[in-house]
């Protein structure tokens, strides 16, 4: 994907993103990024392998909203990302990602700029999830796809993170977890139609010991769920 295949709206984004806006992840950036090399390394590998099954059929260019430190983008070949955290963006750029500062609901890019938009372990941290989905719809080409990587509320992983949220965990206190049915409704409201669902990470939290192959379909006991949705066709009247 060439970075010249899309147009940005950086001047408009600048008016909406004040310099005083500080992401809570700025202070947690190093700890967040270290997770991928330490206790989360095998889970990360399992999730990446599941995504790789889907990549050949996804239209380009690709964008990751909530690119963070660029771990998934680098592993999956997503060249462009956006994130509100200055510290995480610095890490993403060092990993070769063309990264823009901003939130997913902001109009950072021109209409119909991308073939696929990814949100990977990002949705639970969004302040305005429906607005982000609608913005993703706007910047996708008519045949474009949105790909969501989710820890769902009903999974054992989601239940653990909700408990940590209630205990004031430094990361998860900012998170809101959604069920599969809630995600379906949000996607429909934003103008999408679900095309595929894959599930992986069936091992329990703290007991991930080996690689896994993803299963097609939705499984409530899976720790990680991938949803692929396409833009709903608008019929002219």
Q: Is 35 exposed, middle or buried (0-12, 13-18, 19+ CB in 10 A)?
A: middle
pLDDT 10s digits, 18-51:
344 668 778 888 888 998 999 899 999 999 999 9
Tokens of 51: 């995504």
Would you say residue 236 lies in a domain?
A: no
Would you say residue 125 lies in a domain?
A: yes
pLDDT at 16: 41
Candidates 218, 210, 231; CA nearest to 49 is 210
Domains held by the chain: number: 1
Looking up residue 42, the CATH number of its domain turns out to be 3.40.50.150
pLDDT at 5: 61
pLDDT at 27: 83
Instruction: At 186, give phi and psi (nearest 5°).
Output: -65, -40
Scored b (16 or more CB within 10 A) or e, 136-171 reads bbbbbbeebbbbbbbbbbbbbbbebbbeebeeeeeb
For the chain, the 3-state helix, strand and coil shares in percent, each to the nearest 5, are: 35, 20, 45
What is the domain range of residue 102? 3-231
The residues, ordered by sequence, that sit 6+ positions from 4 with a Cβ below 8 Å of its Cβ are: none
Total length of the chain: 237
Distance CA 130, CA 121 (A): 16
pLDDT at 170: 85
The residues, ordered by sequence, that sit 6+ positions from 232 with a Cβ below 8 Å of its Cβ are: 188, 191, 192, 193
The residues, ordered by sequence, that sit 6+ positions from 172 with a Cβ below 8 Å of its Cβ are: 161, 162, 164, 165
Would you say residue 218 lies in a domain?
A: yes
pLDDT 10s digits, 66-78:
999 999 999 999 9
pTM recorded for the entire structure: 0.91
Would you say residue 202 lies in a domain?
A: yes
Would you say residue 237 lies in a domain?
A: no
Tokens of 26: 């700025």
Q: Which residues on adjacent β-strands are paired with residue 101?
A: 83
With a cut of 80, say whether residue 122 has pLDDT above it.
yes
């Amino acid at each position: 994907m060439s970075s010249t295949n899309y147009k940005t709206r950086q001047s408009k984004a600048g008016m909406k993103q004040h310099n005083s806006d500080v992401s809570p992840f700025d202070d947690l950036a190093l700890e967040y990024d270290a997770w991928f090399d330490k206790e989360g390394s095998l889970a990360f590998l399992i999730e990446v392998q599941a995504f790789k099954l889907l990549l050949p059929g996804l239209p380009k260019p690709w964008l990751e909203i909530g690119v963070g430190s660029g771990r998934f983008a680098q592993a999956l070949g997503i060249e462009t990302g956006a994130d509100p955290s200055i510290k995480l963006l610095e890490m993403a750029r060092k990993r070769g990602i063309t990264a823009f500062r901003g939130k997913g609901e902001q109009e950072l890019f021109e209409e119909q700029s991308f073939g696929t938009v990814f949100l990977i372990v990002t949705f639970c941290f969004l302040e305005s999830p429906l607005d982000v989905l609608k913005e993703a719809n706007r910047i996708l080409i008519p045949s474009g796809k949105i790909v969501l990587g989710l820890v769902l509320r009903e999974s054992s992983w989601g239940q653990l993170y909700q408990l940590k949220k209630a205990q004031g965990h430094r990361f998860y206190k900012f998170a809101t977890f959604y069920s599969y049915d809630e995600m379906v409704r949000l996607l429909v409201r934003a103008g999408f139609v679900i095309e595929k669902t894959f599930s992986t990470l069936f091992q329990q939290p703290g007991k991930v010991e080996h690689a896994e192959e993803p299963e097609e379909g939705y499984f409530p006991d899976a720790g990680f769920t991938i949803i692929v949705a396409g833009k709903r066709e608008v019929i002219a009247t």
